[in-house]
Structure 1
Amino acid sequence: MKEKQPWLVRPETIRRLWIVFIAILAITVLADFFVEHHGYFGVDGTFGFGAWYGFVSCVVLVVFSKALGALLKRRDDYYD
């Protein structure tokens, strides 16, 4: 008897989740056309500022955490 995989790791579920997430992101960026922007610093009034700012911030956090992890890394037998 074949054991069934959990729903979140099935390939068809992963594909559907990607499609839903991409659609939500596209709708969010397209909704930016209908919002009047009042930027305080100039750059924050540009189209899609929230999307690209969030993406760049996420990339910076990942790179920083990788560098910090490499700096603080210890051997497996550190406490032995």
Structure 2
Amino acid sequence: MNSPDNHWLTRPGTIRWLWIIGYTMLAVTVALQWLVPVKGHFGIDGWFGFGALFGFFSCVLMVFGAKLLAVFLKRPDNYYDV
């Protein structure tokens, strides 16, 4: 039961439940904006769901930025070999 192939985080059922919990938490967080009014400082940040969209697109931008940076910083596999 406790073999490395049967860790609780690698089971398909656990992965499915973690995705469901994550999506539910995201939906509840965004839906709470109907109950708690958000006063934006710049106008656009007061829009419904702005924080979720801003966070998502910021994450996407960071991933693409890291991929672009890796092109310039990448070294061959035998770079540290003597």
Structures share fold, TM-score greater than 0.5: yes
Letter in 1 for 2:44: V
TM-score (normalizing by structure 2): 0.88
Displacement of 1:79 in angstroms is: 2.0
Taking only aligned residues, the RMSD between alpha carbons, in angstroms, comes to 1.1
Cα deviation code 1:35-70 (max 9, x no counterpart) = 212211110010011100100110011000111111
In 1, distance between residues paired with 2:70 and 2:24? Answer: 34
Which residue in 2 is equivalent to 1:47?
Answer: 48
- What does residue 34 of structure 1 align with? 35
Identity %: 51
Who is 1:20 aligned against? 21
Divergent runs of 4+, >3 A: none
- 2:9 paired residue number: 8
Aligned length: 78
Distance (whole Å) between structure 1 residues aligned to residue 74 and residue 37 of structure 2 = 47
Question: Which amino acid counterpart does residue 16 of structure 2 have in structure 1?
Answer: R
SS in 1 for 2:41: coil
Q: 2: CA distance between counterparts of 1:38 and 1:78?
A: 53
